[in-house]
Structure 1
Amino acid sequence: MSPVWHAAGAGLRRGWTELRQTFTTGQDVFGYVLWTVLLMVPLFLLKDDPLKGAGISTGAFMLPSMLGMTLAFTGMMTTAQLLATEREDGTLLRAKAVPHGMVGHLVGKIIMVSGTALASMALPFAVGMFLVDGVARQGGGALLTLVWVIPLGLLATLPIGAVIGSLVSSPRTIGLLMLPVMGLVVISGIYFPLSELPEWLRTVGQIFPVYWVGLGLRSALLPADAVAAEIGASWQHLETAGALGAWTVAGLLLAPSVLRRMARRESGAAMAERHRKAMQRVG
């Protein structure tokens, strides 16, 4: 076995270990529960409000949309947060010191973040099914759609998170990005159909993968008549695959070079300087 494949295998095992740990750590489990509660509050309040012309409630529309938002934001923001944190605390520097250590480290993070995203979707989905009607009753066709939408959504968002985590100066910077992120939610058709927005905002919303992941999950989990609420009254499967595929290709082309550049710049002196600045802020 080549050294790279050996490192990737070690990263795979590390990722599974970290994933098991997060499901047995009280703080992490509380985070999953809290996220579920935050998603269920608007769902509960709007579960009986009819969505005009779609034959479903607003709550039913929101459930798969919020699952898509969860997948996209976990892929982007969790990956970015982990990379920024581990660069600051020296984890990436230690990985760099091991032959092909960065390969194993990144494989482990991919497994861990992907598992976290799926868990963050599964709990709200299970709870939401008891709150709203008309969701996930589409049979085998829905399962086939999920099989390609979820992996493609992860492939489209994980590299974005890697790029963000490589470029930001510290984990605290990630928190500052939440304001534009919340703006992106508003124009991504999560809480109401994108067709209700002005045309120029629809165009902006359709640029980013959040909208397309949400649309893909709605097409899988909502009744066929619900398509009336979408732009052009179409699920746009080809467009969804094309948009997420484009983000995947762009991310996979850009992320490796950005990560290599970040790894080259990591050194003991750089980490010590970050630690000194952090202590100055505390002082």
Structure 2
Amino acid sequence: MSAASTAVRAGLARGAIQFRQSITSPAEIFNHAFWPALALIAVVFLRRWHFGGTPLATLAVPSILGMNAAMAMVTMSQYLTADREDGTLLRAKATPHGMVGYLVGRLVSVSGGLLLDLALFFVPALLLADGLILNQLGRWLTLLWVLALALVATLPAGAVLGSAFGSSRSQGLLTLPILGVIGISGIFYPIAALPGWVQGIAQVFPLYWLGLGMRSALLPPDAVAVELGHSWRHLETVGVLGAWAVVGLLLAPVVLRRMARRESGSALAARRARALRTGGAR
């Protein structure tokens, strides 16, 4: 067995352990439950409004699934930054093919956490939103390929973002842009109701397409009337998400290798000293 395949096996085992830890720690359990709970509250409030004859709550459920899938990018970025700060990346760098094992482990743990978060939202949402269709094999297949594309399109991008931030505190710089993209991506209100230039900006990012793909899998056929062009646009969904996936897969290994080369004991010590000074100043 080659060293690379051994590293991959170790990464798979590491990811399984990290995921198991995330569902046994009270703090991690709260993190898993927090966003699904907020999303369910939003669905409850949206039940009273309709758009194009379809309840907004029904439109919002698949859109929120797509939003949560895209948020895996932020989770990946946060983990990478935290692991860089505490020396995990430095230890991975010191072992043969350690970065491969580290990356595989994080992909497994983040993907597992995402699936758990989606289930925590989706199962109760089925009781709150009427009109979702789940009794056709083709719809389940659509849901699966959209979710698979979501992971491939967002997790490498999250690794790139995580390598760009020097500390976990700077991760807050991601919050406002992401909230802005969520606001214009048709998550809680159909994008067709927004100005044309806003629609154009939203369609550059994967979040809109993830929501659209999820809606095509779960909503009745007549719900397409509220979408742009009155179409689910599967080809465009594959194209945009595929483009994000290709760019991310090309950039992530290069960026991670460059970041790993910069990691050293002295760099880690300097970051810890800066953190201590900052904490003392407060």
Corresponding pairs, count: 280
Match of 1:59 in 2: 57
The 5 A counterparts of 1:1-283 are: 1-52=1-52, 55-74=53-72, 76-283=73-280
| AA at the equivalent of 1:51 | F
Shift of 1:148: 0.8
Shift of 1:48: 3.1
Contact 1:92–1:102 under 8 Å retained in 2: yes
Secondary structure of the structure 1 residue equivalent to 2:71: helix
Contact 1:168–1:174 under 8 Å retained in 2: yes
Residue by residue over 1:6-32, the C-alpha shift from the partner in whole angstroms, topping out at 9 and shown as x without a partner, is: 000100011011111111221111222
| AA at the equivalent of 1:152 | L
Residue by residue over 1:216-240, the C-alpha shift from the partner in whole angstroms, topping out at 9 and shown as x without a partner, is: 0000011111001110010000100
Contact 1:87–1:93 under 8 Å retained in 2: yes
Q: Counterparts of 2:251 and 2:36 in 1: how far apart (Å)? A: 33
Q: Counterparts of 1:244 and 1:101 in 2: how far apart (Å)? A: 29
RMSD of aligned alpha carbons:
0.9
Q: Counterparts of 2:270 and 2:31 in 1: how far apart (Å)? A: 32
Residue by residue over 1:101-121, the C-alpha shift from the partner in whole angstroms, topping out at 9 and shown as x without a partner, is: 110010000000111111111
| AA at the equivalent of 2:187 | I
Runs of 4+ in 1 over 6 A off after TM superposition: none
With structure 1 as the length reference, what TM-score do the two structures score?
Answer: 0.97
Residue by residue over 1:38-90, the C-alpha shift from the partner in whole angstroms, topping out at 9 and shown as x without a partner, is: 111111011132222xx42000000110110001012x100000000010110
Q: Counterparts of 1:181 and 1:147 in 2: how far apart (Å)? A: 24
| AA at the equivalent of 2:50 | P
Contact 2:32–2:113 under 8 Å retained in 1: no
Q: Structure 1 stretch 239-248 or stretch 41-50: which is displaced more?
A: 41-50
| AA at the equivalent of 1:108 | G
| AA at the equivalent of 1:112 | S
Q: Counterparts of 2:16 and 2:7 in 1: how far apart (Å)? A: 14
Identity of aligned residues (%): 51
Q: Counterparts of 2:123 and 2:71 in 1: how far apart (Å)? A: 19
Q: Counterparts of 1:249 and 1:107 in 2: how far apart (Å)? A: 18
Secondary structure of the structure 2 residue equivalent to 1:192: coil
Shift of 1:138: 4.8
Contact 2:163–2:255 under 8 Å retained in 1: yes
With structure 2 as the length reference, what TM-score do the two structures score?
Answer: 0.97
| AA at the equivalent of 1:26 | P
